[in-house]
Structure 1
Amino acid sequence: MTSIDTSEALVRAEIDVAALQANAAVLAERLAPARLKCVVKANAYGHGVDIVATALFAAGQRDFCVATISEALQLREILGDEVTITAWLYSSTTDLDAAVAAGIELGVSTVDSLDRLRAAAEATHTAARIHLKIDSGLGRNGLAPVDFALALKRLQTVADEPEPRLEVVGIMSHFAVADEPARPETGEQIQAFTSAHRDLTALLDATQGRLGESDRLEVHIANSPGALSLSPFPGNSARVGLALYGLSPFEDRGPTDMGLTPVMRLVSHVINVKDIPRGHGASYGLTFTAEADTRFALIPGGYGDGIPRSASNRAEVSVRGKRYPVVGRIAMDQMIIDVGDDEVAIGDEAVIFGPGGPSAAEWGAWADTINYEIVARLSARVDRREV
């Protein structure tokens, strides 16, 4: 992988490691006796997996989740063999050997994956540790009811072989609308998941431990909103991502309402200030025209850094503790704020979002998206620094 020199980076993501560790402690206490599974996929939701995973490990966390096998192998290199890593997103052509050899626990969403994982286990002389992934209603990845039944039959056949080489260590699913606690579909998903868990338990007990022990299964369906809104939530662990980074999955509750602190602070600085006469336009398309004499300040940071162009003429940036409107279209590398006649100068820090500025949730609203995307979309050009 080609490294990117960030020594001259103009946009910086400051990662508050103490806040991250405190969030993990708050969540672990809330979930107990269930276990916290720290989700660090997508470069730790844009926060930098090397910084985040190392800090969580230092705080005592040992259970991690990612989406893809490449992410899992990268995480194994960062943290070593002392942690459990679960991944679940791969295709019919993905090479599974390296993941099995590295002890990555893999979600199984198709019957064919069972045979492929058993072949990888044979090739690497390592038992494949698997979590059956159930589609309990999300309609995305996972075994539909008919496929789950076929998977159980296939596992029964594997159990009868001299060396099964498949160890079922978990059953998992994913909530669709847990961020809307009043929706009835969450209860329906819990019923479907509980039924699947019961059927898997029966199979493991009938095969007398040749595929794994039913009383040691890791059972997980809860995401951040499920873990924070359901009491109790089903299962003995929860995969928590967004809340770990101090962001709220709910529209009507902020992170402080749940004892969480935002971990990322995205900052830039003013590199130009100029007087603008009334009637002057701003940026591509001249979608903004000054209604009076004013001053424009130029802020490095644009959609090349992952800042959404769709927030043009809607977003705000903070300088010297005051918010100023983004005027004109956000460009690939820069944006303009209207600072009026305030004392804003070249070199002033500009807080795009995070403590001291607007929130990621506000940027999500300005860009017609969600806070998840605002942090996760930050590009490799942004310098992530531990603070």
Structure 2
Amino acid sequence: MPRPIEARIDLAALRHNYLLARQHATRRSPAAKAWAVVKANAYGHGLLRAAAALGDVADGFALLDLDEAVALREAGIRQPILLLEGFFELADLAVCADHRLTVVVHCLEQLQLLRRALPPRCLPVYLKLNSGMNRLGLTAGQLPAVRRELATSPTPAAVTLMTHFAEADGDAGERSINWQLERFAAMTAGWADAAGWPRSLANSAAILRYPETAHDWVRPGIMLYGGSPFADQDAAGLGLQPVMTLCSRILAVQEIAVGERVGYGGTFVAQRPTRVGVVACGYADGYPRHAPGGTPIIVAGRRTQTLGRVSMDMLACDLTDLPEAGVDSPVVLWGDGLAADEVASAAGTISYELFCALARRVPVRVV
């Protein structure tokens, strides 16, 4: 038998979440379209699996890697494909043109490469403006040079303006996104507004909390996979469904007395006679090693908690109040019935990291 662990991927839930994201966007902007953000192997869910699930409903797909974009085209995807970090060298432009890709341009050097391409490569461009996140994007001081490049380069087939919000998931009563919207408006006043270029501003958090930012294209990411972008709202309350469920089984049960310890370092000390379940899942499977004892887990359909440190291939949980649970009982580490956001919060991280960390050795079953 194979080791009793698997990740179940619910493609119907993925479709539901995408359609919900687009529904939120079109309530405010009826013509808005939604990129399905499938970077990082579709947040660990499988690029081609996600594409197969969304291929007949998604307006477009957004990712980072040029090879993955080519793989989508070869898999039959005909919708627009957006490279979120654009291209990295001159040779990339021929591949982008051959496969009809849309490229983000976030620095002057990329604009200059567009002008140098021989023969000229006429590509749709997303012009990314740095409105305050200070990660990628053209600054206000660079805009005169940007305008000169655009005026002298025949290569952009179409231009869309974009930016990325740093605090859309924060308290709407504090800084939120207003300061970035103000900067974006100042940067685009006149020249860009006059051109009437489409805009793409909203990530998952903004789609849900700031519908006025929907505009022409939104970019849902974590919400596609059933994760909440907010610390103060759970995914189910937002209407999102879990796509990945990490499942395992109990390998063994230990009965320990008061004062006995569990796991490396003996960080758990029994305060009562304790039934310890040993689960076939560890940090080599993608479960966070830094998840402390007390992290929620479901065994035989009931909630309990982990005990002690996570090992490479195993972790321990408390079965003391679950007399019906024993060897071979089913376990849910996160997903259906236990939100990944809750597990991530207990581990001091975010569900994005849990999904992306799923190890190759974990079998995947499509539901």
Structure 1 length as normaliser, TM-score?
0.86
Code of the residue aligned with 1:130 in structure 2: it is V
Residue of structure 2 equivalent to 1:107: 104
Residue of structure 2 equivalent to 1:17: 11
Code of the residue aligned with 1:266 in structure 2: it is L
- In the alignment, the residues of structure 2 paired with residue 335 and residue 285 of structure 1 have an alpha-carbon distance, to the nearest angstrom, of 13
- In the alignment, the residues of structure 2 paired with residue 259 and residue 287 of structure 1 have an alpha-carbon distance, to the nearest angstrom, of 38
Cα distance, 1:68–1:218 mapped onto 2, change above 3 Å? farther
Residue of structure 2 equivalent to 1:312: 292
Q: CA deviation at 1:320?
A: 1.2
For the pair 1:31 / 2:25, whether they are aligned, the reply is yes
Cα distance, 1:153–1:354 mapped onto 2, change above 3 Å? same
Code of the residue aligned with 1:176 in structure 2: it is A
Cα distance, 1:367–1:200 mapped onto 2, change above 3 Å? farther
Aligned residue for 1:51, secondary structure, equals: helix
Match of 2:226 among 228, 239, 246: 246
Moved over 4 A (4+): 90-95
Residue of structure 2 equivalent to 1:55: 53
- In the alignment, the residues of structure 1 paired with residue 229 and residue 346 of structure 2 have an alpha-carbon distance, to the nearest angstrom, of 17
Q: Note if contact 2:207-2:214 (Cα within 8 Å) is conserved in structure 1.
A: no
**Runs of 5+ consecutive residues of structure 2 not aligned to the other structure:** none
Residue of structure 1 equivalent to 2:179: 188
Q: CA deviation at 1:167?
A: 2.1
* Paired residue total: 360
For the pair 1:137 / 2:135, whether they are aligned, the reply is no
**Runs of 5+ consecutive residues of structure 1 not aligned to the other structure:** 1-6, 159-163, 206-213
Cα distance, 1:200–1:301 mapped onto 2, change above 3 Å? farther
- In the alignment, the residues of structure 1 paired with residue 362 and residue 142 of structure 2 have an alpha-carbon distance, to the nearest angstrom, of 43
Give me the identity figure in percent.
Answer: 32
Q: Note if contact 1:48-1:384 (Cα within 8 Å) is conserved in structure 2.
A: no
Code of the residue aligned with 2:156 in structure 1: it is L
For the pair 1:46 / 2:44, whether they are aligned, the reply is yes
- In the alignment, the residues of structure 1 paired with residue 251 and residue 363 of structure 2 have an alpha-carbon distance, to the nearest angstrom, of 17
Q: CA deviation at 1:185?
A: 5.1
Over residues 97-139 of structure 1, what are the superposed CA-to-partner deviations in whole Å (9 max), with x where a residue is unaligned?
323322221111111111223444x25x642221111111111
- In the alignment, the residues of structure 2 paired with residue 177 and residue 285 of structure 1 have an alpha-carbon distance, to the nearest angstrom, of 39
For the pair 1:89 / 2:79, whether they are aligned, the reply is no
1:1-387 equivalences in 2 (<5 Å):
8=2, 10-32=4-26, 33=30, 34-58=32-56, 60-80=57-77, 82-89=78-85, 92=88, 95-97=91-93, 98-120=95-117, 122-123=118-119, 126-158=121-153, 164-180=154-170, 181-184=172-175, 186-201=177-192, 214-215=195-196, 217-233=197-213, 235-340=215-320, 342-356=323-337, 358-387=338-367
Code of the residue aligned with 2:148 in structure 1: it is K
Code of the residue aligned with 2:201 in structure 1: it is I
Over residues 197-227 of structure 1, what are the superposed CA-to-partner deviations in whole Å (9 max), with x where a residue is unaligned?
445536xx7xxxxxxxx44x43101101111
Cα distance, 1:197–1:234 mapped onto 2, change above 3 Å? farther
Which is worse superposed, 314-323 or 91-100?
A: 91-100
- In the alignment, the residues of structure 1 paired with residue 90 and residue 249 of structure 2 have an alpha-carbon distance, to the nearest angstrom, of 43
Code of the residue aligned with 1:165 in structure 2: it is T
Over residues 76-95 of structure 1, what are the superposed CA-to-partner deviations in whole Å (9 max), with x where a residue is unaligned?
33343x11111122675585
Q: CA deviation at 1:242?
A: 1.2
Q: Note if contact 2:106-2:129 (Cα within 8 Å) is conserved in structure 1.
A: yes
- In the alignment, the residues of structure 1 paired with residue 312 and residue 114 of structure 2 have an alpha-carbon distance, to the nearest angstrom, of 43
Cα distance, 1:200–1:304 mapped onto 2, change above 3 Å? farther
Code of the residue aligned with 2:259 in structure 1: it is G
Which is worse superposed, 183-192 or 297-306?
A: 183-192
Aligned residue for 2:345, secondary structure, equals: helix
Residue of structure 2 equivalent to 1:3: none
Cα distance, 1:228–1:278 mapped onto 2, change above 3 Å? same
Residue of structure 2 equivalent to 1:161: none
Aligned residue for 1:310, secondary structure, equals: coil
Aligned residue for 2:229, secondary structure, equals: coil
Code of the residue aligned with 1:107 in structure 2: it is V
Aligned residue for 2:183, secondary structure, equals: helix
Code of the residue aligned with 1:325 in structure 2: it is Q
Q: CA deviation at 1:9?
A: 5.5
Q: Note if contact 1:222-1:233 (Cα within 8 Å) is conserved in structure 2.
A: yes
Q: CA deviation at 1:383?
A: 2.2
Q: CA deviation at 1:239?
A: 0.4
Over residues 305-333 of structure 1, what are the superposed CA-to-partner deviations in whole Å (9 max), with x where a residue is unaligned?
22111113131211112122211110122
Code of the residue aligned with 1:70 in structure 2: it is D
- In the alignment, the residues of structure 1 paired with residue 75 and residue 362 of structure 2 have an alpha-carbon distance, to the nearest angstrom, of 21
